[in-house]
């Protein structure tokens, strides 16, 4: 089946499922009105120290309410709760009741339920509490459900407290997994080519949509981005499966809508088109099937250079958002043993504002925040200092005119970025005489760039006595001894030391709206890796 046939088939099915005849699913609706989405993973409540949660305190519903309260009035207009990792319902479920899960967990491991489980066993309902609080605080309540999360599944068969995150369905069906290696995320998640896998996930979605007054629902296809055995499925098969699933969820949302209001359907997907086909994500077909919102993610990081513009052109009917996170770059050397022990470089307000401005300039409808509260203390020791999250940025992230007047801080970093990119954007191995090319999409501020900028590179380790040159759009420019952070930065972890940095002055006149070509040459020195590049304007 070619693409045209596939889209025709998809549209016909959408019409058959209840759309007005003669009107395509794509145009029988208005665009989603939201500009700032805020994702709340729930687990931050007990994993982070905060003004309303002391380290080690067990979960209480008032803590969940506090996560809604702290972003009220900041500019967030849609709040997306992720009730766990998607295997264990943190709502009153008949598909997989809390009593069944935690009894089975204790029989297998000998451990009692964690504080989330104890709340559920006492009759608690996180989704109910969340929806009621959002209504009270003026935020549109969404549920975001992870479609295939790999967190802690390596412990599924161990007598370990972390086995509480794996469901009975997961443990009892090893034949549903993508591969045999429990240590590899891309193998220990489930195979969506198997109908029973999709049916199990849909049963959770159905009771969420039937039993709670949600404004919208997000399918999170990012945790983990592995759904199919690529050597055993074709592109058409993968896309057909995923588009049919979207259509099924759309029908459910329409059937359960209240007071004639449209319930918005969102998908959290990779921000890079090269990652879509392996996951079965044909966005135009999914929008035809009823998808309203496309949330473009780099999984864990704030990034600025994405395929948003191309995706915008491919789905003009949908609202498109760029996701931002607490981190721009995770260090490769953990500071301790255990979970969450790696150092990480925090995103700054200027980097958020620049990313949002570029997203709007390339056709985006808004931004989203993911893992935003992890500026707070969490994980192993030695990764601080920690701070409160910069919630104040939200009041500006929906204001494209304000953003267009701000100083700009563009960057490329060694995050996970695009896992399908070859070669990766960063890090880059460099040797004497070698030139590496980087491309930055730049969007001018209101009135254009008036001042010269500064370009910096940072090595994974000391650059030693090495010598470097830099060109932008074919023009070479002078080095500068000013290696400082271009804007005030309250987050010291992983900022470059002088011996790791080089910098150049960049004339404003050489910059252009669109793709700018940067060539970095190591003129002399020992082989090393570049890990970070930024351009302040």
Do the beta carbons of residue 221 and residue 268 sit within 8 Å? yes
Residue 89 forms part of a structural domain:
yes
pTM score, whole prediction? 0.93
CA distance 64 to 95: 24
Residue 374 forms part of a structural domain:
no
Residue-by-residue DSSP string for 154-222: GGTTSSSGGGGGS-HHHHH-GGGBS-S-TT-HHHHSB-TTSHHHHHHHHHHHHHHHHHS--SEEEEE--
Identify the burial level of 507 via C-beta atoms within 10 angstroms of its C-beta, where 0-12 means exposed, 13-18 middle and 19 or more buried: middle
Q: How far apart are the first and last CA of the chain?
A: 48
| CA angle (311, 313, 315) in 5-degree steps | 70
Do the beta carbons of residue 160 and residue 196 sit within 8 Å? no
Domain that holds residue 459: 413-536
How many structural domains compose the chain?
A: 2
- φ/ψ of 79, rounded to 5, equals -110, 125
Q: Can you point out the beta strands (E) in 378-536?
A: 409-413, 428-430, 435-442, 453-459, 467-472, 475-476, 501-506, 514-524, 528-536
pLDDT tens digits along 370-383: 999 999 999 988 89
Residue 377 forms part of a structural domain:
no
CA distance 346 to 412: 13
Q: Do 438 and 292 fall into the same domain? A: no
- Cβ neighbors of 302 (< 8 A, separation 6 or more) are 324, 325, 326, 327, 328, 347, 351, 352, 355
Q: Do 419 and 291 fall into the same domain? A: no
Instruction: Supply the CATH number for residue 104's domain.
Output: 3.20.20
Decide: helix, strand or coil at residue 323.
strand
Residues in the chain: 537
CA distance 308 to 322: 8
195-211 vs 235-256: helix axis angle to the nearest 10? Answer: 20
Residue 386 forms part of a structural domain:
no
- Cβ neighbors of 431 (< 8 A, separation 6 or more) are 522, 527
Q: Do 422 and 288 fall into the same domain? A: no
Q: Do 70 and 219 fall into the same domain? A: yes
Query: How far from chain centre, in Å, is Cα 5?
Result: 32
CA distance 309 to 273: 11
Do the beta carbons of residue 230 and residue 161 sit within 8 Å? no
pLDDT tens digits along 117-148: 999 999 999 999 999 999 999 999 999 999 99
pLDDT exceeds cutoff 60 at 11? no
- Residue entry with tokens 């309540």: 141
CA distance 209 to 204: 9
Instruction: Supply the CATH number for residue 444's domain.
Output: 2.60.120
Do the beta carbons of residue 325 and residue 370 sit within 8 Å? yes
| Averaged pLDDT for residues 443-454 | 96
Q: Give the pLDDT confidence score for residue 7 in this predicted structure.
A: 41
Q: Give the pLDDT confidence score for residue 414 in this predicted structure.
A: 85
pLDDT tens digits along 45-77: 999 999 999 999 999 999 999 999 999 999 999
Residue 371 forms part of a structural domain:
no
Q: Give the pLDDT confidence score for residue 80 in this predicted structure.
A: 98
Q: Mean pLDDT check: name the lowest of 174-183, 327-336, 403-412.
A: 327-336
61-69 vs 126-137: helix axis angle to the nearest 10? Answer: 30
pLDDT exceeds cutoff 50 at 450? yes
pLDDT exceeds cutoff 50 at 1? no
Q: Mean pLDDT check: name the lowest of 15-24, 198-207, 263-272, 477-486.
A: 15-24
Q: Give the pLDDT confidence score for residue 421 in this predicted structure.
A: 63
Residue 472 forms part of a structural domain:
yes
Buried/exposed code over 341-360 (b: 16+ C-beta within 10 A; e: otherwise)? bbbbbbbbbbbbbbbbbbbb
CA distance 398 to 357: 10
Identify the burial level of 16 via C-beta atoms within 10 angstroms of its C-beta, where 0-12 means exposed, 13-18 middle and 19 or more buried: exposed
Domain end among 297, 312, 342 = 297
Nearest to 384 by CA among 347, 332, 346: 346
Instruction: Show the tokens assigned to 25.
Output: 């699913």
pLDDT tens digits along 408-427: 999 999 876 566 665 678 99
Task: Please state whether 474 falls in left (phi above 0), alpha (psi between -120 and 50) or beta.
Answer: left
Instruction: Show the tokens assigned to 355.
Output: 């990313």
Residue 417 forms part of a structural domain:
yes
Q: Give the pLDDT confidence score for residue 2 in this predicted structure.
A: 43
| CA angle (308, 8, 228) in 5-degree steps | 60
Residue 525 forms part of a structural domain:
yes
- Tell me 190's DSSP state: B
CA distance 166 to 183: 14
Q: Mean pLDDT check: name the lowest of 179-188, 269-278, 412-421.
A: 412-421
Do the beta carbons of residue 513 and residue 442 sit within 8 Å? yes
CA distance 195 to 182: 22
pLDDT exceeds cutoff 60 at 10? no
Beta-ladder partners of 470: 520
Q: Give the pLDDT confidence score for residue 3 in this predicted structure.
A: 42
CA distance 465 to 452: 27
Q: Do 289 and 159 fall into the same domain? A: yes
Nearest to 31 by CA among 397, 321, 296: 321
């Amino acid at each position: 089946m070619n693409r045209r046939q596939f889209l025709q088939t998809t549209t016909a099915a959408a019409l058959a499922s209840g759309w007005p005849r003669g009107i395509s699913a794509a145009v029988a609706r208005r665009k989603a009105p939201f500009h700032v989405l805020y994702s709340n993973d729930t687990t931050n409540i007990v994993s982070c120290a905060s003004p309303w949660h002391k380290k080690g305190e067990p979960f209480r519903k008032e803590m969940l309410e506090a996560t809604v309260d702290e972003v009220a009035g900041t500019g967030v207009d849609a709040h997306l709760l992720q009730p766990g990792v998607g295997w264990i319902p943190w709502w009153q479920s008949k598909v997989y009741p809390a009593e069944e899960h935690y009894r089975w967990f204790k029989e297998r491991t000998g451990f009692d339920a964690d504080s989330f489980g104890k709340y559920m066993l006492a009759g608690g309902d996180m989704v109910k509490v969340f929806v009621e609080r959002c209504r009270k605080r003026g935020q549109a309540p969404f549920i975001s459900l992870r479609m295939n999360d790999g967190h802690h599944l390596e412990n599924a068969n161990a007598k370990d407290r972390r086995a509480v995150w794996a469901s009975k369905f997961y443990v009892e069906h090893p034949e549903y997994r993508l591969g045999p290696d429990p240590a590899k995320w891309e193998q220990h998640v489930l195979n969506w080519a198997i109908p029973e896998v999709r049916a199990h996930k849909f049963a959770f979605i159905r009771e969420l949509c039937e039993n709670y007054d949600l404004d919208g629902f997000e399918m999170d296809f990012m945790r983990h981005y592995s759904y199919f055995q690529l050597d055993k499925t074709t592109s058409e098969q993968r896309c057909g499966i995923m588009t049919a699933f979207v259509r099924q969820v759309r029908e459910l949302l329409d059937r359960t809508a209240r007071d004639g209001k449209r319930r918005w359907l969102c998908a959290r997907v990779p921000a890079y088109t090269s990652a879509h086909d392996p996951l079965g994500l044909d966005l135009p077909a999914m929008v035809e099937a009823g998808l309203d919102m496309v949330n473009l993610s780099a999984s864990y990081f704030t990034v600025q250079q994405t395929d948003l513009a191309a995706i915008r052109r491919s789905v003009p009917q949908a609202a498109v958002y760029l996701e931002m996170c607490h981190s721009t770059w995770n260090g490769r050397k953990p500071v301790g043993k255990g979970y969450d022990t790696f150092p990480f470089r925090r995103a700054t307000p200027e980097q958020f504002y620049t990313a949002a401005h570029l997203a709007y300039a390339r056709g985006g409808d808004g931004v989203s925040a993911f893992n935003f509260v992890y500026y707070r203390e969490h994980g192993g020791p030695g990764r601080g200092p920690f701070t409160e999250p910069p919630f104040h940025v939200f009041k500006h992230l929906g204001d494209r005119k304000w953003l267009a007047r701000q100083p700009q801080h563009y960057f490329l970093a060694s995050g996970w970025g695009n896992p399908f990119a070859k070669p990766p954007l960063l890090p880059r191995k460099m040797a004497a005489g070698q030139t590496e090319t980087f491309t930055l999409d730049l969007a001018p501020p209101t009135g254009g760039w008036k001042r010269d900028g500064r370009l910096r590179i940072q090595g994974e380790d000391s650059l030693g006595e090495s010598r470097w040159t830099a060109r932008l759009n074919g023009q070479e420019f002078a080095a500068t001894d000013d290696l400082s952070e271009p804007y005030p930065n309250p987050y010291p972890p992983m900022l470059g030391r002088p011996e790791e940095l080089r910098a150049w002055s960049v004339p404003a006149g050489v910059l252009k709206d669109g793709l700018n070509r940067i060539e970095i040459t190591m003129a002399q020195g020992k082989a090393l890796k570049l890990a970070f590049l930024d351009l302040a304007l």
